[in-house]
A and B are shown apart, each in its own frame.
Chain A
Amino acid sequence: MPEETILEGFDQKRDFRYKQYKGKNLIIESKENGKGVIIQLLSTDPNDFLNQSFLPGNEIIWE
């Protein structure tokens, strides 16, 4: 595999933020226009992870 493929986007700074969304703590990656992509749900309740709205990769509006 070429090195460029492996290291693609490695130099880009990713903007991770901690946000409360529907009463749960999330780590989101901030995008334009107040949107964010869910990276991780911070919860100890296993049922929260079955909730579709907290699935990693989902886009949410946080602003």
Chain B
Amino acid sequence: MEVPEKEPQNQEQGQKTELINQLGQTQLPVAKSNIHVITIVGQVEGHLVMPPQNKTTKYEHIIPQLVAVEQNPEIEGLLVILNTVGGDVEAGLAIAEMIKSLSKPTVSLVLGGGHSIGVPIAVSADYSFIAHSATMTIHPIRLTGLVIGVQQSFDYLDKMQDRVINFITANSKVDEDTFRKLMTTTGELARDIGTVIVGKEAVKLGLIDELGGVGDAIRKMNALIEENKFKSIGVH
């Protein structure tokens, strides 16, 4: 097996010249961003590894990134972009708790879909946005695989459901009764109980703060960063 060996710097320089010569492309100047982005796409992957055909967001990738964002003084804010179908409840809640406890301003944006366990992740940010066409599915949690059919299993499932509901109601303006009703509605989903809510409805219910896109999210983020700066130097 022969691998051409080149000095890393020469190779990089060579690539740059090649890009200009062949494609007319130039490298963009390197700029530092004070806002970092985390995308939650596909399935939220937890304790089980999904087959490679599945697009997943792994919590073991996200959690160290969140620690790095919290720890790096050059990062002033975090934007969380969601387009997820949901996934592992505990992994989703772990990510949501991490985002909630960041000391830096966080803004979330739901694009396309923020279903199931995507809902707590969306509400965990300081301020949340949803695109006009984006949807969120709210449904009761469920277990797949081999389940021991005893009363304790149901109690455990019930407790897990309460954890999700408590997190959502504590971090958004939706009240528990409304949320439970949405969760147990019949006739909205083809083979399940629950509700699909679209952009505007999510704002009306108080689940999400505002309708908007990436421009609005960045604008809000900059406003929150300014506010945070004033707070840290003691101006009220």
Contacts and interface: CB of A to CB of B under 8 A. Distances in A.
Interface of A: 10, 13-14, 16, 33-34, 42, 44-47, 50-53, 61, 63
Interface string B62-94: 000100110000010010000000000000000
B9 to A, nearest CB: 11
B25 interface: yes
Contacts of B30: 47
Contacts of B32: 47
Contacts of B2: 33
Interface string B32-72: 11011110000000000000110000000100010011000
Chain A binding surface, main DSSP class: mixed
B223 interface: no
A42 B61 contact: yes
A53 B3 contact: no
B1 interface: yes
A48 B194 CA distance: 39
A44 B65 contact: yes
Nearest to A33: B1
Interface residues of B, number: 26
Interface of B: 1-4, 12, 15, 19, 25, 27-28, 30-33, 35-38, 52-53, 61, 65, 68-69, 75, 78
Among A44, A45, A47, A53, chain B packs the most CB atoms within 10 A around the CB of: A44
B33 A14 contact: no
B69 A44 contact: yes
9 closest A-B pairs by beta carbon, nearest first, are: A44-B36, A50-B28, A44-B65, A46-B37, A14-B52, A46-B33, A34-B3, A47-B33, A44-B38
A51 B28 CA distance: 7
A33 B53 CA distance: 24
Contacts of B19: 52
A44 B53 contact: no
B52 A52 contact: no
Nearest to B2: A33
Given A45-B33, A46-B35, A46-B37, A10 B53 contact: yes
Nearest to A14: B52
A34 B38 contact: no
Contact of A44 (B3, B25, B37): B37
Contacts of B15: 52-53
Among B61, B69, B75, chain A packs the most CB atoms within 10 A around the CB of: B61
A50 to B, nearest CB: 5
Contacts of A33: 1-3
24 contacts: A10-B53, A14-B52, A33-B1, A33-B2, A33-B3, A42-B61, A44-B38, A44-B65, A44-B75, A44-B78, A45-B33, A45-B36, A45-B37, A46-B36, A47-B30, A47-B31, A47-B33, A51-B27, A52-B19, A52-B25, A52-B27, A53-B15, A61-B4, A63-B1
